[in-house]
C-alpha cells in the first residue's frame, strides 16, 4: 500500500551570532480528513499540528463570521503526565487561551467578507523543547492549514516572535534568551505588493512587552525600548515574515485545494443602503456630535427604530425586497461609520468634539476602599476602573502546570468586566477569553517595574474592576494598577500609564487618508479600523497590543501612532503622580514579611522530621514561615 503524498517547505531564519532557526511546514501525512492540515516544526524538537475544518452549510441567523480557534496543549509534548486528579488535560491553560487570541486576531480579517459557514482551527501541541515558545509558530501553522483548505482566505499570514538582545532583534528566541533581552515582540502580517511590484509587509497584529529583567538591563547600559526602538522592531520583523510567508506560499502552490464556492451573505444590498442613508444621514450627523455616551445611544436607538419602520413600510409597498428588513442594522451601521469617519477626516473633529490628539478628562484617587491593602480609582471620561491590591507570603504565588518552563508567578493581574459597566445585563462568573486577554495585557505592562523578590518578598494580586466602560478599560486598568500598587506600599521602580489609540482611514479625493485618534471612545473602536494600546513609563514602552479590522497597516502609520501615544502617556503620568508620587506605608491589615538566610544544609534541621520543628515554631509564635531552596527563610 502506498503511503500518503507528503509536501513540505521550510524557511531558515538567520540570527547572525545567535545562529539559525529552521521552520518547516509539512502536509499530507496527518489529519487527512480535515479540509487543511499542516504540521509545523521549529528546528527538530518542537512540532505542532494545525487542522482547519469548515461546516458544510451556513449558520442560519448569524450576522457575523463564526470562526473558532482552539489550542490543545498535550502534556506528553513536554514528557509530562497532567497533574489533575484524573491525570488528563482539562480546560485550556491561560497560555493556550492567549495563543487562541493571538491566532484569531490576524486571521479573522483575512477571510472573505460575508462567509457564514462555521470555521474551526484546532492547534495541537505534539512536541515542545523545554526552552521553546510555540505561539508564533502556531500563527504560521494556522495560516497555512487554512490557506490550503479551499476556504476563501486572503493569506498567508506570517507570525514571528523577536527579542531585542543587545542591539540585535533575534527571531524565535528561547525562554532562556529572554533573560538577556529588554523587549519581546510578536508580529503578524501579510505580504503585499504595490503597483510597482515592490513587496512590503502589512502589519495585522502586534503583541509586545518589556521583559521582567529589562529595568536592570537598561540601568546596566542596554538599549532602552522607547518608541523609536519599537518602530525598529516592527521593521526588523519584515524580512523574517517575508521568508515565512514565502515558505507557506511554496507549499500552498502544490498542496492547496481549489477555492470552493461558499455562499456569501453581503451585509446589505445597495438599495437598502441607499434607503437608510437617505433617511438617516443628516440625523446621524447630529447623533454623532452628542458627547454623552448614554444620551448618544438613546438618540441612536430612536433613529434606528425610525429607520427600521421606514424600511418595513418600503418593503410592504414593494419598493424594497423583503430581505431589506434583515439588512437594516448592517446598513445603518455602515452609514454611521461613514458619517463619523467623514467628520474626522475632513474636519478633524471627533464624536465628543475633541481634536485628534485630545484626551478626555482624567481623575485619579487612592485609598478608596477600607481594610484592603491598596486601592484606587482611575477615571478617563466615562471609563472608570477600580484597582485593588492584595499582598501575601511568597508561598501564595501561583503555581503553573503547563508546557511553559515558568512554573510560578508572583504578580497576578485579574480583570473583571461586569455587564453593568456598559449599562447592560449579562452573564457573570468565570472570566471569558476577552477578560483573560485584557488582564494579561495589563499584567505585562507592570511586570518590568515591579521590585525584585529579594527587595519585596510578597506575592501580589492585582484586581481591576471595570465599573464603567467607554473605551479602553484595559489601559485604564494599567493606570489603576499603578495607583493601587503604590497605595499598597509596593515600591514600583517607575509609574506606568497606558493609552488606546484608534485609526480612521478612508478615500478622500481619491487618496487613502489616515487619522490616528488618541484615547478612543467605545464608538470609535467599534466604527474605526484599529485598536492600538500602548503602555509604558516616562522613559520606555512596557507593553503594546495592536488589532486591526483592515487587511494590514503600513508600519509608518504605527510609527506615528506610537509617537502620538507617548504624548498622551506623559499627560496621564502627570495625573497619576499628582495623586500619589511615592509608595505609601503598607496598610495595617497587610502582612509583614522579613527574610533571613540560613545555610542550605540547615534547611532539613529547620523543617524537622515530617515538618515537626517548623510546624511547632508556627503554632507557638503564630508566624507563617516559608523556605526557599537557596536557604532564604521568609517569616510573616
**pLDDT at position 3:** 60
Compute the chain's Rg from CA coordinates.
26
Lookup result for grid cell 507570603: 393
How confident is the model over 291-346, as pLDDT tens digits?
A: 889 999 999 999 999 999 988 888 888 888 888 888 898 999 999 999 998 888 88
How confident is the model over 31-81, as pLDDT tens digits?
A: 999 999 999 999 999 999 999 999 988 887 787 899 999 999 999 999 989
* pTM: predicted TM-score of the whole model, two decimal places: 0.92
Q: Does residue 1 carry a pLDDT above 50?
A: no
Burial level of 367, CB count in 10 A (0-12/13-18/19+)? middle
**pLDDT at position 560:** 87
Which cell is 383 given? 471609563
Q: Where are the beta strands (DSSP E) in 271-382?
A: 362-366, 374-380
- Residue 231 CA, distance from chain mean position: 18
Q: Does residue 4 carry a pLDDT above 80?
A: no
pLDDT classification of 599: cutoffs 50, 70, 90 = confident
Contact 461, 414 (CB under 8 A): yes
The one-character DSSP state at 368 is -
Question: Any residues with CB less than 8 A from the CB of 272 and at least 6 apart, and which?
Answer: 311, 320, 323, 324, 327, 328, 331
Give all domains of the chain, ordered by start, each with its CATH number.
Answer: 7-255 (3.30.230.70), 270-347 (1.10.10), 362-579 (3.30.230.70), 594-635 (3.30.1370.10)
Contact 329, 390 (CB under 8 A): no
CB atoms inside a 10 Å sphere around CB 521: 26
The one-character DSSP state at 602 is G
Cα separation values, 567 from 480, 486, 538, 572, Å: 19, 23, 10, 9
Amino acid at each position: 500500500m502506498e503511503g500518503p503524498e507528503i509536501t513540505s517547505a521550510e524557511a531558515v531564519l538567520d540570527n547572525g551570532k545567535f545562529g539559525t532557526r529552521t521552520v518547516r511546514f509539512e502536509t499530507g501525512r496527518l489529519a487527512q480528513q480535515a479540509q487543511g492540515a499542516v504540521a509545523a516544526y521549529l528546528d527538530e524538537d518542537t512540532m505542532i499540528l494545525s487542522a482547519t475544518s469548515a461546516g458544510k452549510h451556513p449558520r442560519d441567523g448569524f450576522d457575523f463570521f463564526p470562526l473558532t480557534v482552539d489550542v490543545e496543549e498535550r502534556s506528553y509534548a513536554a514528557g509530562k503526565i497532567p497533574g489533575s486528579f484524573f491525570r488528563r488535560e482539562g480546560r485550556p491553560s491561560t497560555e493556550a487561551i492567549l495563543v487562541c487570541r493571538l491566532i484569531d486576531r490576524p486571521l479573522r480579517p483575512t477571510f472573505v467578507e460575508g462567509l457564514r459557514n462555521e470555521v474551526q482551527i484546532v492547534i495541537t501541541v505534539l512536541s515542545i523543547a523545554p526552552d521553546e515558545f510555540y505561539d508564533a509558530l502556531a500563527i504560521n501553522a494556522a495560516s497555512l492549514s487554512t490557506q490550503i483548505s479551499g476556504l476563501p482566505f486572503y493569506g498567508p499570514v506570517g507570525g514571528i516572535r523577536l527579542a531585542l538582545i543587545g542591539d540585535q532583534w533575534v527571531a524565535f528566541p528561547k525562554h532562556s534568551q529572554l533573560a538577556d533581552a529588554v523587549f519581546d515582540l510578536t508580529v503578524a502580517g501579510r505580504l503585499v505588493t504595490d503597483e510597482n511590484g515592490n513587496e512590503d509587509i502589512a502589519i495585522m497584529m502586534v503583541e509586545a512587552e518589556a521583559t521582567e529583567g529589562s529595568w536592570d538591563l537598561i540601568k546596566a547600559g542596554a538599549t532602552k525600548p522607547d518608541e523609536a526602538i519599537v518602530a525598529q522592531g516592527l521593521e526588523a520583523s519584515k524580512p523574517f515574515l517575508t521568508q515565512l510567508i514565502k515558505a507557506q506560499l511554496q507549499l500552498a502552490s502544490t498542496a492547496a485545494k481549489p477555492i470552493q464556492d461558499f455562499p456569501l451573505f453581503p451585509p446589505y444590498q445597495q438599495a437598502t443602503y441607499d434607503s437608510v442613508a437617505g433617511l438617516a444621514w443628516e440625523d446621524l450627523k447630529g447623533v454623532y456630535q452628542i458627547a454623552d455616551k448614554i444620551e448618544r445611544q438613546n438618540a441612536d436607538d430612536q433613529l434606528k427604530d425610525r429607520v427600521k419602520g421606514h424600511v418595513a413600510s418600503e418593503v410592504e409597498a414593494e419598493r424594497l425586497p423583503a430581505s431589506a428588513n434583515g439588512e437594516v442594522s448592517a446598513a445603518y451601521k455602515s452609514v454611521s461609520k461613514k458619517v463619523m469617519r467623514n467628520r474626522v477626516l475632513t474636519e478633524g473633529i471627533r464624536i465628543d468634539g475633541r481634536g485628534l490628539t485630545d484626551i478626555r478628562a482624567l481623575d485619579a484617587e487612592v485609598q478608596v476602599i477600607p481594610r484592603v491593602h491598596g486601592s484606587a480609582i482611575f477615571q478617563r471620561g466615562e471609563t472608570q476602573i477600580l484597582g485593588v491590591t492584595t499582598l501575601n507570603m511568597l508561598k501564595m504565588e501561583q503555581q503553573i502546570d503547563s508546557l511553559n518552563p515558568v512554573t510560578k508567578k508572583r504578580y497576578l493581574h485579574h480583570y473583571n468586566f461586569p455587564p453593568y459597566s456598559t449599562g447592560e445585563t449579562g452573564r457573570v462568573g468565570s472570566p471569558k477569553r476577552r477578560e483573560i486577554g485584557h488582564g494579561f495585557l495589563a499584567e505585562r505592562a507592570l511586570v518590568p517595574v515591579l521590585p525584585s523578590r529579594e527587595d519585596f518578598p510578597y506575592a501580589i494580586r492585582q484586581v481591576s474592576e471595570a465599573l464603567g466602560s467607554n473605551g479602553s478599560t484595559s489601559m485604564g486598568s494599567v493606570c489603576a494598577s499603578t495607583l493601587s500598587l503604590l497605595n499598597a506600599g509596593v515600591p514600583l521602580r517607575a509609574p506606568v500609564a497606558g493609552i488606546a489609540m484608534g485609526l480612521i482611514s478612508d478615500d478622500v479625493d481619491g487618496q487613502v487618508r489616515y487619522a490616528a485618534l488618541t484615547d478612543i471612545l467605545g464608538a470609535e473602536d467599534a466604527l474605526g479600523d484599529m485598536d492600538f494600546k500602548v503602555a509604558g513609563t516616562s522613559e520606555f514602552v512596557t507593553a503594546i497590543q495592536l488589532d486591526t479590522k483592515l487587511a494590514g497597516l503600513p508600519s509608518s502609520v504605527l510609527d506615528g501612532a506610537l509617537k502620538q501615544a507617548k504624548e498622551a502617556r506623559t499627560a496621564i503620568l502627570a495625573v497619576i503622580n499628582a495623586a500619589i508620587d511615592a509608595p505609601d506605608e503598607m496598610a495595617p491589615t497587610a502582612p509583614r514579611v522579613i527574610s533571613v538566610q540560613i545555610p542550605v544544609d540547615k534547611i532539613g534541621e529547620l523543617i524537622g522530621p515530617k515538618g515537626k520543628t517548623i510546624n511547632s515554631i508556627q503554632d507557638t509564635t503564630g508566624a507563617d514561615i516559608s523556605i526557599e531552596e537557596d536557604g532564604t527563610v521568609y517569616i510573616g
